[in-house]
């Protein structure tokens, strides 16, 4: 993923990314379809049969969406 990658994620995908920050026992139920899309975007990966954030996913989560930046301005 390059630095210019602009994530146009759905609300459900953003919520799932935020939930992946938490340890597995503290997470709510994740939508498997949404998680599969995050994995396809290399924002999440499976580790020991549980989804986890990738380094790219952390960067996207910290950076936020360009749409969010527009709303804040």
What count of other Cβ atoms lies within 10 Å of the Cβ of residue 60?
24
56, 1 Cβ separation under 8 angstroms: yes
More confident residue, 24 or 12: 12
The residue extents of the domains of the chain are 11-72
pLDDT over threshold 60, residue 57: yes
pTM of the model as a whole: 0.76
Share of the chain above pLDDT 70, in %: 78
């Amino acid at each position: 993923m390059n630095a210019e990658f602009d994530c146009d994620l759905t609300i459900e995908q953003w919520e799932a990314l935020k939930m992946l920050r938490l340890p597995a026992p503290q997470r709510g139920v994740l939508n498997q379809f949404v998680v599969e899309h995050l994995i396809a975007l290399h924002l999440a990966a499976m580790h020991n049969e549980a989804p986890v954030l990738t380094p790219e996913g952390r960067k996207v989560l910290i950076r936020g969406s360009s749409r969010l930046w527009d709303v804040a301005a």
